[in-house]
Amino acid sequence: MIELIPAIDLIEGKCVRLSQGDYDTKKVYGDPVEMARKMEQVGVNRLHLVDLDGAKSRHVVNEKVLREICRATSLGVDFGGGIKTQDDLDKVFDAGAAMATAGSIAVTSPATVYSWIETYGAERIILGADVREGKISINGWKEDSAVELMPFLEDFIQRGISNILCTDISKDGMLQGPNIGLYRNIMQRFPKCHLIASGGVSCEEDIHALEEAGIPAVVFGKAIYEGRIDLEKLIVKS
- Tell me which of 51, 53, 88, 130 is the catalytic residue: 130
Concatenating the DSSP letter of every residue in the chain gives -PEEEEEEEEETTEEEEEETTEEEEEEEEE-HHHHHHHHHHTT--EEEEEEHHHHHHTS---HHHHHHHHHH---EEEEESS--SHHHHHHHHHTT-SEEEE-HHHHH-HHHHHHHHHHH-GGGEEEEEEEETTEEEETTTTEEEEEEHHHHHHHHHHTT--EEEEEETTTTTS-S---HHHHHHHHHH-TTSEEEEES---SHHHHHHHHHTT--EEEE-HHHHTTSS-HHHHHHH-
Residue 31 among the catalytic residues: no
Residue 130 among the catalytic residues: yes
The residues assigned a catalytic role are 9, 130
